[in-house]
Structure formats: C-alpha cells, structure tokens
Amino acid sequence: MTRPAREVVGRTVPGVTLGGVADTAWTPLYRAGAVCAGLAVVVYVAALVVVAVTSAPPTSGGADVLAWIAEHRTTYVVRQVLWRAPSLPLMVVSLALAVALRRRGRPVAAVAGMVAVASWALSFAWPTTGDGAPAMVLLSDRYAEATTAGQRAPFVAGAEVLLALNDVPSAIGVLQTVGVLLLSLLALRGPLPAPVAWTGVVTGAVGVVCEALRPVLGWAYVTYGLLLFVWLVLVASALWRHASASRPEAVPR
C-alpha cells in the first residue's frame, strides 16, 4: 500500500523533485509571485506610456518645477504613483524566488531574499522616484498659496533639494540590482529554467552599473529597464510552472 503523501513531507523520496510534496505549502506564494511579476511589468509599461504621451516636468529650477506641477497636478501624481507602485509586487516576487531557491543554498537564499525584499521596501522611504518626487505636490500647493517671494523661498529651496536627490545615484537602487543578481546566481543551480537565471544575472550586472552611473548614462539607462522587463516576464512564467509542479497530485505514488 502506498503511504499517504503527508507522511513524506520534508523527507527525501526517490522520484520527488524539488517541487514535490514538501514544497506544496509554498504553492500560493509561488503563484502570488508569478502574478506580481506580471503586475509589475504592466505597471511599468503603463508608466512608460504615460511618460510618452505627456509633457515632462522641468529638470531644473525649483520655482519652474513647482509652477509646472500646479498646472499639471494630475499628470504628475499619476507618474509618481506608477513609478513607485511596482516596488510592492516586486517584494513578493523576491520573496517567492528566495523560497523557491532555498534548497540550492539556504544561507545564500536567505541573504539574497533579505537584500531584495528590503531594497524594494526601502524604495518607499526614498523621497524621489527618478521622475520626480511625491513631496513636490505638497510643495507646489504651498508655493501657490504663498503671496510673497519671502514666503515662497522655503518651498523653492525644498524643491531644489528634491531635484538634486533625484539626480543622485541611490544606494537603494544599487541594492535592488544586487538582489536580482544574487537570486539569479543562485538560480543557476536550479530549479528554475536556465534562461531565467542567465537573464537575471545579466540584468543584475547591467543594473548595478546603470544605477551607479545613472546621472551620466542618459538614455543608456533604459537598457537596464528593458532587461528588467524581460526578466520579470520569464520569472512570472517560471514561478507559475514551479507552482504547478508543487501540487500534491504531481508527486509519484
């Protein structure tokens, strides 16, 4: 008589792959990671479409930026939300990958997952998005309400600070690419398909350079963005298949 599947959970059983019975408890996380990877791509694409069809805010001059935001408030808010929103689903993607790869090296998977999840979480604390700063909206409102140059000066100064931060490479952005690189290096040992792992390695390596040199790269920075899109699409497909392989009925009896 075949022993119940629950009795072999956590044991090494001939014919049972990494996605076998012992992995079934993580199936919802793998599916959530796949959906979140696809969602992040959709939001990023939406952000690019909005950027392409709307005028860009000034990149210098605090007063000019605040005046522009007052005239294009909705557009500016939408752009900031779309650039910041993917950080949340990418936290789920990073966690799902770390769990899926844990048997290829638990310490490395733990460190890679911690770096990746923390870096995307910390992006909510960083004041700029690369396309501006959410706080600019409040500064713009206060700037419009002020009636004298002296009253407007503090808000202009605040806008100048945010503009400067927007052009400075952030440690958070570098950490995000390091997280992608660490997870992908671990994935080279399986169980995810090799194209997913190698695309992630290239994405992470190129991303580290692009994030560190962002102010001087100009449009070349887009290379990292395109690679990230491709990697996320592959990750979405790989995690969904991995979740399907983790179902109890997929285990040989």
- Quick check: is 84 in a domain? yes
13 Cβ neighbours under 8 A, 6+ residues apart: 20, 21, 251
46-60, 86-100, 180-194 — most confident range: 86-100
Torsion of CA 219, 236, 199, 101, to 10 degrees: 130
Closest CA to 82 of 54, 49, 58: 49
Q: What is the CA radius of gyration of the chain?
A: 22
Q: Would 174 be classed as within a structural domain?
A: yes
Structural domain of residue 177, as residue ranges?
A: 19-248
pLDDT tens-digit map of 215-252: 777 778 888 989 999 999 999 999 998 888 765 544 44
Listed in sequence order, the residues at least 6 apart from 210 whose beta carbon sits closer than 8 Å to its beta carbon are: 177, 217, 220, 221, 223, 224
Total of domains in the chain? 1
Lowest mean pLDDT among 93-102, 163-172, 237-246: 163-172
- Asked if residues 248 and 5 have their Cβ atoms less than 8 Å apart, the reply is yes
Decide: 139 and 158 in contact? Cβ < 8 Å: yes
Is residue 14 a part of any domain in this protein?
A: no
Q: Which residue reads 């966690």 in tokens? A: 95
pLDDT of amino acid 96: 94
DSSP per residue, 123-146: TTTSS--SS--THHHHHHHHHHH-
pLDDT 10s digits, 19-46: 344 467 888 999 999 999 999 999 999 9
pLDDT score of 97 more than 90: yes
The average confidence (pLDDT) of the chain is 84
Q: How many CB atoms lie within 10 A of CB 188?
A: 15
Domain annotation covers residue 49 = yes
* Cβ pair 243, 32 in contact under 8 A: no
pTM of the model: 0.81
* Residue keyed to tokens 């000066």: 153
**Mean pLDDT, residues 151-156:** 91
Give a yes or no: residue 32 inside a domain: yes
pLDDT in tens, 191-216: 888 999 999 999 999 999 988 888 77
**Lookup: tokens for 56:** 């860009």
Q: Is residue 7 in a domain? A: no
